[in-house]
Every structure is written in C-alpha cells, then in structure tokens.
Amino acid sequence: MNRTTWRKLLSSLFVTFCALSVLIALVPLALILFYVISRGVQALNVDFFTHVPRPVGESGGGMANAIVGTVILVGLGSIMAVPIGILSGVYMSEYAGSRFAAVIRFAADTLNGVPSIVIGVFAYGIAVLPFKQFSAVAGGLALGIMMIPVMARTTEELLLLVPGTMREGALALGATRARAVFTVVLPAALPGIITGVMLALARIAGETAPLLFTSFNNRYFTTKLNQPISSLTVQVFTYAISPYADWHRQAWAGALVLVTIVLVCSLLARLATRRLEAMHVR
C-alpha cells in the first residue's frame, strides 16, 4: 500500500474510533435511563408518595418518610452551605490576586475531590460520636460540606463575569466595597448564583455514602432534627440489596424520583445560565 493511502486510512480509522467512543458512552446512558424509567414508572404510584414503609414481608407501602427526609437533609445542607459558599466566593473574586484567595481556592478544589464516604466519616466524628446519636443534623452537615466548594467556585466564576464597569460605577458614586458588592454585583450575578445552588443541590440530593452513618435510616415518619432520619438514597440502597422483589420494585421507583430531581435541578441551572448569558449579550 502506498504511504498516502495508508495515512488516509489511518486517519479515517481514527475518526471512526472517536465517533464510536461517543456511541460507546451513550449506550450505557440510554440503558440506564431506559431501565430507570420503565421499571420506575411501573412501580410508582400514589402510595409511594403518601405511605411509609410496611414491615418486612408485607408488600405495598411507600417512601413518604424518605422523601420528606431528603428534603430536610438537603435543606439543612443548603442553610449551612449557601452563605459560606457565596461569601467565600465573594472573597475570592473581590480579592482575586491575594494569597489567601488562592488558599481558599485551593481548599475548595481539594474539598471537591474528597470522596463522599470520607466526608461521612468526618461528619460522624464531629456530629455523631460526641452525642452518641445518629441525627438529621449530622446528615445535613455532611451534605453541606459537599455543597460548599461547588457554591464557592461557581459564585467566584460568576462574579468575575459581571462587567467591571458596574462595580466601578457603584464605587465612583461613593459606595463602599461592601455596598457595591451586595447591592450591585451580587444582584447582577444572581441568576448565576442560582445556577450554582441548583448544581450543588443536584449533586447532594443523590448522595448516599455520607448519609449511611450520619443520618442513618428510619422506618418511621419523622421531622425531628436530632433523630435518625430516612432519605431516598439510603432507602433505595437498603431496598436494592434486600432479597424481596417488592422492595426491588420500590427501589426502582425511588431511583426514578431521584433521577427526576437531579434532572430538574440541572435543567433549572441551565435556564438560569441562559438568562445570565442573555444579559451579557445586551
């Protein structure tokens, strides 16, 4: 074979490989979505949202307690993470060149890479062990720790996107830095910050590992923050590894609800970014 033909052949083989690898990744995605939707829809019913789990051996029941639990845990996490995340993001963008900003940035990236199970062990050490009690607060703490770096980094990036002229305008009118940030820059970046919150929520709503030994699990309906509480993810895990067909069915329903929550958060994030981009074009 002559050299040019060989080179061309090699080139088209390579292009084919790249296109194929996209397909290779899309096959599992399609399979996962197909199973979650088809099995989940079959298993989902009103009871799932309104009933608590039945005792072992009885079929039926639902995950009402787990749904409420997830909402509480995610809420607790957000209460803790949103202020810390946003304000440290403000510091990183306002004092972008400073050494401490670099330290925070580094800490955020490091924390982002820490395995969620390790965060769970840490939360166990500081919020379960001293009180000898699994609790919703401990679970919320673990989720909050996972949210902070995501919030901080997105806030930083989005504040840097706000045109410098807006900040300078406020400062020129005699506003202090705090006032310029809180009344001009942050509101301008608000859609972006909502994106950050949504992305962080999407990330933690599906977390299981940090909850296994912080909020633990609870078969009953509870809203007490100092008690173990159920969550969708831990409940799906418990049901998935159980030997009962009816529990497997409910695990799929739980998975469908989880995937829906995550997708809705991601879509909302996308919409908010689009609005921010539109603002910048203007």
List the one residue from 173, 263, 271, 278 that touches another protein (CB under 8 A).
Answer: 263
Terminal Cα distance for the chain, rounded = 57
- Using the Cα atoms of residue 177, residue 183, residue 184 and residue 185 in order, give the sign of their dihedral: positive
Among 38, 45, 115, 275, binds another protein (CB under 8 A): 115
Residue 262 interacts with another protein (CB under 8 A)?
A: yes
Residues numbered 192 to 211 that lie near another protein (CB under 8 A) are 202, 205-209
Restricted to residues 39-58, the positions that interact with another protein (CB under 8 A) are: none
Taking CB under 8 A as the rule, does residue 142 contact another protein? no
Stretch in the footprint of another protein (CB under 8 A) among 53-61, 71-79, 97-105, 271-279: 97-105
111 touching another protein, by CB under 8 A: yes
Report CA-CA distances (Å) from 178 to 28, 49, 244. 49, 45, 58
CB of 11 to another protein, least distance (A): 4
Distance CA 159, CA 186 (A): 7
CB of 19 to another protein, least distance (A): 6
Query: Residue 205 to residues 72, 75, 121, 280: CA-CA distances in angstroms?
Result: 11, 10, 18, 31
Supply the minimum distance, in Å, between the C-beta of residue 89 and another protein. 9
Tell me which long-range contacts 59-64 makes (C-beta under 8 A, separation of at least 24).
59/246, 60/246, 61/250, 62/250, 63/230, 63/232, 63/235, 63/250, 63/253, 63/254, 63/257, 64/221
Q: Which residues pair with 53 in a beta bridge?
A: 61
- Which among 205, 191, 192, 190 has a CA at the least distance from the CA of 263? 205
Single residue of 103, 173, 271, 278 touching another protein by CB under 8 A: 103
CB of 191 to another protein, least distance (A): 19
Q: Which of residues 12-31 bind another protein (CB under 8 A)?
A: 13-15, 17-22, 24-26, 28-29, 31
In angstroms, what is the minimal distance from the CB of 135 to another protein? 14
Site for another protein in 65-94 (CB under 8 A): 83-84, 87-88, 90-92, 94
